[in-house]
Amino acid sequence: MTYIAKHRKCDLMELARELGEEVDEKFTIVNLKKVILNSSDYEEEFAKEMLEAIIVRRQEKEVLERQREKEEKDRKFEREKEERDRQFELEKIKLQTSSETSSVTSESSENNTKYNCAELQKVLQRFDSRNDDISLYLVVFERQANRLKINKADWVTQLMPLLPSDVVQIIAREPEKESSDYDYVKELLLRRFKLSAETFRLRFMQQQKKPEGSWRDLAFELRSFLEEWLEGLNVKDFDSLKDLMVTDQMKRRVGVGTFH
């Protein structure tokens, strides 16, 4: 029975539990050996095979954990690089883009404008191109900009710090006049990040209320996802909508991979 003493405590604990025994971290390897050998379900060859399987699972888990740690370090490095690139591009755009806004008539109004712009940056999170819907994000941006009474001529300037560096670079490649026109920039972003109908369907089905959000926010998000889903499939009338609902339910029952 010496094979038991050669293995890790965590593996022996798992083996004991597989045999139906109750053990915890207080057990020593000697205690675990006694528990395993005295188990009513113990049979040496079976226990050896089970222990080998437990070790393989643990090793696979450790490999996955190391891989996740490496991926997280890589993502952190990319985020830091992206932030540096974004700051660089923002500075370049500031130098290239001349301001055509009207002069401020008083110091108080100037301070108020600066406050509103700063407030906009606080209430909006940065756009995440991997997880966020650009159309929904721009709707929220426009609502907040209007609420804070920010001049539309300044919208592009306020939007830039909220975008990833690669998106800023896309805008920077456009002619100077167009790159400061919000409507033009909006259309550019919608084309660049247009999501598939299937993506909007999944978001419509899976979207949950955010802890910091309200039920009204959730209703707005669901309505936006539904509209994008229907538009992507060119659903224009009630009969087409019924066909879509029936097809979707059939896929749910038989599985997308087997549905034709």
Q: What is the mean pLDDT of residues 130-146?
A: 85
Q: Is the pLDDT of residue 141 over 50?
A: yes
Q: Is the pLDDT of residue 105 over 70?
A: no
44-55 per-position pLDDT tens digit: 888 888 888 888
Q: Is residue 106 a part of any domain in this protein?
A: no
Do 116 and 149 contact (CB within 8 A), yes or no?
yes
Residue 62 structural domain: 1-85
Question: Are 6 and 70 in the same domain?
Answer: yes
Q: Is residue 152 a part of any domain in this protein?
A: yes
Task: Give pLDDT, residue 255.
Answer: 59
Task: Give pLDDT, residue 237.
Answer: 84
**Of residues 242 and 196, more confidently modeled:** 242
Q: Is the pLDDT of residue 65 over 80?
A: yes
The CA distances from residue 140 to 7, 35, 70, 220, 232, in Å, are 57, 61, 35, 10, 21
Question: Are 245 and 221 in the same domain?
Answer: yes
Question: Are 189 and 205 in the same domain?
Answer: no
Q: Is residue 101 a part of any domain in this protein?
A: no
Nearest to 90 by CA among 169, 189, 170, 177: 169
Task: Give pLDDT, residue 258.
Answer: 54
Q: Give the domain-ending residue among 30, 55, 85.
A: 85
Question: Are 12 and 75 in the same domain?
Answer: yes
How many residues are listed for the chain in this entry?
A: 260
Q: Is residue 260 a part of any domain in this protein?
A: no
179-217 per-position pLDDT tens digit: 999 999 988 887 887 767 777 788 788 888 878 778 888
Across 63-72, 200-209, 214-223, which has the greatest mean pLDDT?
Answer: 63-72
Task: Give pLDDT, residue 87.
Answer: 84
Question: Are 187 and 229 in the same domain?
Answer: no
Number of separate domains in the chain: 3
Give dist(CA 55, CA 39) in Å, integer. Answer: 20
Task: Give pLDDT, residue 248.
Answer: 80
Q: Give the domain-ending residue among 56, 85, 114.
A: 85
Question: Are 142 and 72 in the same domain?
Answer: no
Q: Is residue 77 a part of any domain in this protein?
A: yes
Dihedral pair phi/psi, residue 235, rounded to 5°: -85, 110
Q: Is the pLDDT of residue 114 over 70?
A: no
Q: Is residue 112 a part of any domain in this protein?
A: no
Q: Is residue 132 a part of any domain in this protein?
A: yes
Question: Are 171 and 210 in the same domain?
Answer: no
Q: Is residue 91 a part of any domain in this protein?
A: no
Task: Give pLDDT, residue 99.
Answer: 53
Task: Give pLDDT, residue 98.
Answer: 55
Question: Are 39 and 69 in the same domain?
Answer: yes
Write the DSSP string, 90-154. Answer: HHHHHHHSPP-PPPPS-HHHHHHHHHHHHHHHHHSPPP-TTT--HHHHHHHHHHHHHHTT--GGG
Q: What is the mean pLDDT of residues 6-12?
A: 83
Reported confidence tier of residue 101, pLDDT bands at 50, 70, 90: very low
Q: Give the domain-ending residue among 26, 57, 85.
A: 85
Kindly report whether the global pTM for this prediction surpasses the value 0.95.
no
The percentage of the chain sitting over the pLDDT mark of 70, rounded to a whole number, equals: 88
Task: Give pLDDT, residue 1.
Answer: 56
Do 82 and 128 contact (CB within 8 A), yes or no?
no
CA pseudo-torsion sign 69, 73, 79, 80: positive
Mean pLDDT, all residues of the chain: 81
Question: Are 75 and 132 in the same domain?
Answer: no
Question: Are 238 and 176 in the same domain?
Answer: no
**Of residues 214 and 107, more confidently modeled:** 214
Question: Are 12 and 57 in the same domain?
Answer: yes
Question: Are 132 and 186 in the same domain?
Answer: yes
